[in-house]
């Protein structure tokens, strides 16, 4: 399969999710480059300043309420709002809660979450409480199926507001859905990973989802390269092999 066929197959496979990106547009690569996107990736505008991030996040949670804006409300146990430092320099955005997250009401607390903790604490040498961790969807899709466009459309305003409130310096997009949503692109994660993009003026580093790493340990070296990029972007020291 050549590159174009590969991209077409990915588009067909994930067309419904990508359709939900239509609210902000999915610019053609050439148009994105003309618009000045970082490394040829598109920008989706700039952030509006908000006040105190703690108050802003509390207001967003209040607005979310006992949300029934999409069909996922009926199968959830808890809304997973996301958690961490409201003034985080670094934010991680994944796809949706899984079973453990739905049970506990916290993002990334299952096996993939433990691996994310290792990436943050052992790789980045940061505390998990220093960063913000969240998802595009706040409720678990049944059987962990992929997000559907109406669900993304209903839920994404809350993530957009969370990002506006926290205003991190860098956002790591976890996996295909996290990376594609942030970069408003149809390109597969295998192609956007390793490049630095932009979401409304904030630098985005797409990388493999921790759940993928559980099945493909060899991909951990890619994630380490991406985390070194994150450290450089944050102006933090990059640990050597013996650290």
Interface with ligand SF4 (CB under 6 A): 64, 67-70, 72-73, 79, 137-139, 151, 154-155
**DSSP per-residue string spanning 101-162:** HHHHT-SS-SHHHHHHHHIIIIIS---GGGSEEEES-SSPPGGGPPPPHHHHHHHHHHHHHH
Taking the least distance from each CB to ligand SF4, the nearer of 75 and 237 is: 75
Taking the least distance from each CB to ligand SF4, the nearer of 79 and 91 is: 79
Closest distance to ligand SF4 from the beta carbon of 93 (Å):
14
The DSSP H or E segment spanning 197 is: strand 197-199
Closest distance to ligand SF4 from the beta carbon of 73 (Å):
4
Taking the least distance from each CB to ligand SF4, the nearer of 109 and 137 is: 137
For 107: left if phi > 0, alpha if psi spans -120 to 50, otherwise beta; the answer is beta
The backbone torsions φ and ψ at residue 83, rounded to the nearest 5 degrees and listed phi first, read -155, 165
Closest distance to ligand SF4 from the beta carbon of 150 (Å):
9
Taking the least distance from each CB to ligand SF4, the nearer of 79 and 205 is: 79
Q: Taking the CB of residue 129, how many other CB atoms lie within 10 A of it?
A: 11
Closest distance to ligand SF4 from the beta carbon of 141 (Å):
8
């Amino acid at each position: 399969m050549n590159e174009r066929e590969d991209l077409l197959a990915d588009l067909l496979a994930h067309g419904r999710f990508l359709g939900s990106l239509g609210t902000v547009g999915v610019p053609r690569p050439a148009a994105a480059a003309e618009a000045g996107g970082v490394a040829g990736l598109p920008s989706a505008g700039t952030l509006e300043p908000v006040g105190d991030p703690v108050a802003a996040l509390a207001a967003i949670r209040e607005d979310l309420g006992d949300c029934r804006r999409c069909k996922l409300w009926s199968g959830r146990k808890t809304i997973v709002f996301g958690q961490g430092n409201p003034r985080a320099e670094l934010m991680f955005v994944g796809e949706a809660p899984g079973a453990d997250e739905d049970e506990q009401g916290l993002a990334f607390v299952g096996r993939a979450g433990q691996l994310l903790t290792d990436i943050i604490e052992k790789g980045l040498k940061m505390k998990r409480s220093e960063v913000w961790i969240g998802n595009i969807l706040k409720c678990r899709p049944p059987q962990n199926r992929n997000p559907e466009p109406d669900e993304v459309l209903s839920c994404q305003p809350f993530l957009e507001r969370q990002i506006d409130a926290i205003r991190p310096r860098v956002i790591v997009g976890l996996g295909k859905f996290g990376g594609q949503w942030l970069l408003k692109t149809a390109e597969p994660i295998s192609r956007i990973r390793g490049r630095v993009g932009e979401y409304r003026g904030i630098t985005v580093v797409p990388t493999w989802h921790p759940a993928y790493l559980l099945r493909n340990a060899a991909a951990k070296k890619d994630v380490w390269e991406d985390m070194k990029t994150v450290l450089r972007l944050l102006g933090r020291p990059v640990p050597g092999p013996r650290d």
